Chains A and B, each alone.
Chain A
Amino acid sequence: MAIVKNIRRWTRIVPVRFARAPDANNPDIDSGTPDANAPDPDDRGFVPAQPGAASLPVGLDESLAEAARPETRVRLIREDMENGGALFITVSDNAILAITSPAPGTALPGQRNMMIKFRARAAGECLIRVMFGAEDGPIIHRLRVVVNALRDVRIAAHVPTINGAIVNDSTGTPVPARSTRTDANIRDLIAQANAIYFPYGIRFVLDAAINRAGALNFANRGMVNDMTNEFGLTTANNRVNGAVNMYFVPQIGSAAEVDQVGGSANSARGNPNTFGSLIADMAAGGQTIAHELGHVLNLVNDPRGQFVHVNTVNDPASPGTGREVRSDIVSRRRLMWAFTNLLADPNMPYRSDVGYGAGQPGAMLAVKQLDRDRTDLEMREVQRAAARLNALAGP
């Protein structure tokens, strides 16, 4: 295994690494929309975090027979090693997952970017190991795989009519009293959010009927100002207990904020009586819905209450999404990034494409706990919050 690399003083050698596989067939594709079967490995803090490997979340629909379950895929990239080195894949526990590609005993192709596919068998953890030279050769890399059985979270969707003073949107058109979304559009958005959450073991199940009967009288027509009590009044409207109540509205915010706010939500853990989410018509994709559902499922769960998002902290001087404290590319890859887009950086173009399309923030939830990062363990927290939605009210 020849490794050709210039070294000044010291450097870390990375023969191979795992990465998300946005395209089902082409391992050379680096970027693409979220896909339930192409999870994003939490490869942050490789060395300090146990078990010294990236962590890959994988969803498991227990209601499907094993053969009917979709294949999960992940890429293996030869970072510092030559393409000619023979690499084989093994699994530490075949009861958890079965490798479907490459075939058993077959080496990975001699190319930089390689595709690995497998099928989940049972919930639990195991390691995918990269062996050098032969199936029983030395292990040169490994990936911790966490297979999560799907936890259903019920969603009750509402499309209320909001009466009030007429306000024009940014194009000069009056904001309508009710969202223009169709039932099909709402179902499609939830399906997109499910593609993001599937690896983390969460599936949102929309009630059969979407409630369009609600009526609210607020300051501005078609607008819910989430900086006032209008948020709580909305989430109380036709509320369904035991479900996440999601309200699709034309606009969110004050009259001065038209076309600025895509969504708003509060935590089911901190707000047991009023939790829910607002989605504005400007939210076109499932990423915004998934982000707001993250808030409902108690993200970001900072025990000191400082972080509002993975990159912003609570600061009364910065009302809204908080004060920005970091802008690294890993934070930009995370679902709980505060903003709906990434501005292009002409000097460092890689910063505006973090693997989910140009200008698109990512959809990753943290699986690991890194030292002192109070925004971590997101996967565990969404599972915990989802589980407790089923509980009877306690004291």
Chain B
Amino acid sequence: MVGGLSVGSCQSTDPTSKSQDHKFREEKKMNLPLELERMLSEGEWRAIELAEQLGNKAWPAIKNGASMSGYRSRQVAMACAGRIGGDTAGIILAQGLSDGNVNVRLTAAAQLSVNPPENAKTAVLETLSKSSELDIREMLALAAGYLPGKDTMEVLRPLAEGKDVLGFNARSALAKLGDPEARKQLISSLSSKEPRVRYETLAQLRYVNDRTLAKYAKDLLWDKASALLIGPERNRRFRRVCDQAVDTLVYLMKLSPPFPTTAETIYSDSELLQVSQMIK
């Protein structure tokens, strides 16, 4: 092709263009908190990524969002707060637990279940002990495991007697907090005759996140019992106890195996062998 500049490579000859472009970008950046507030007012989920990008500069908009009249705005504000974390998030998420709309309460509980700020502790424990909403309590039981203290143990202990998901989560939280009885129960669950129980318990070892527990996961590295059906309904395959053991060992021992590990992978014998050699 002969002649002319292609559009893609066209350069402006205007010396002021670069600085104007820079100024435009700067102005746009300055307005990002406003853009976040707009997104929150419209309940747009994309606000979460923008809040994360803005970091601490996002808080004024998130605080406003958390008290907007539309529940979706408040819900997205909870997700934004959880994504950034820290004390301000703790205040907002604690407020979210007592919101009048279940979606806001659930999103707050879901965020707290993974990374709860210390200042949300009172709200977490109070909701955990008083709420009638089971799904929220199940998530807050996991949150409690990150919040040590005698008061946490007192709330968790009666819940841990249950045989349902809430009881299982409460026992895991107690184990994470170092409760010897809960740890004993957790370890004994790894010997359950039900493969699914062994599988789920191995996953909870990652939540407990204590490297000394890795030896128990190691014992199940060759446990090939079928535990969980994965894949689409017409092409189901069983994930085995040993597959979960690999994930748990990689997490607890910070291993870097030469193959990808995911929650949906069924590992080959050679991959199992490689992991067993890495932990010798």
Contacts and interface: CB of A to CB of B under 8 A. Distances in A.
Given A63-B71, A151-B102, A393 B232 contact: no
Given A124-B132, A151-B106, A392-B115, A321 B233 contact: yes
> Which of A242, A303, A308, A380 is the most central at the interface, judged by chain B CB atoms within 10 Å of its CB?
A303
A139 to B, nearest CB: 24
A228 B48 CA distance: 34
B162 to A, nearest CB: 14
A256 interface: no
B166 to A, nearest CB: 10
Interface in B77-124: 79, 82-83, 100-103, 106-107, 109-111, 113-115
> Which of A150, A231, A272, A387 is the most central at the interface, judged by chain B CB atoms within 10 Å of its CB?
A387
Nearest to A243: B45
B202 to A, nearest CB: 12
B110 A390 contact: yes
A266 B263 CA distance: 14
Contacts, number: 124
A305 interface: yes
Majority secondary structure of chain A interface residues (helix, strand, loop or mixed): loop
A266 B82 contact: no
Nearest to A125: B132
B102 A266 contact: no
A392 B83 contact: yes
Interface of A: 62-63, 123-124, 149-152, 154, 201, 226-228, 231, 242-243, 253, 261, 264-267, 270-274, 278, 295, 303-305, 308-309, 314, 319-321, 380, 383-384, 387-388, 390-395
21 contacts: A62-B101, A62-B102, A63-B71, A63-B101, A150-B102, A152-B103, A227-B234, A242-B79, A267-B230, A270-B230, A270-B264, A304-B194, A309-B233, A321-B233, A383-B135, A384-B165, A387-B139, A388-B139, A390-B110, A394-B113, A395-B251
Interface of B: 45, 48, 71-72, 75, 79, 82-83, 100-103, 106-107, 109-111, 113-115, 132-136, 138-139, 142, 165, 194, 196, 206-207, 209, 226-236, 238-239, 251, 262-264
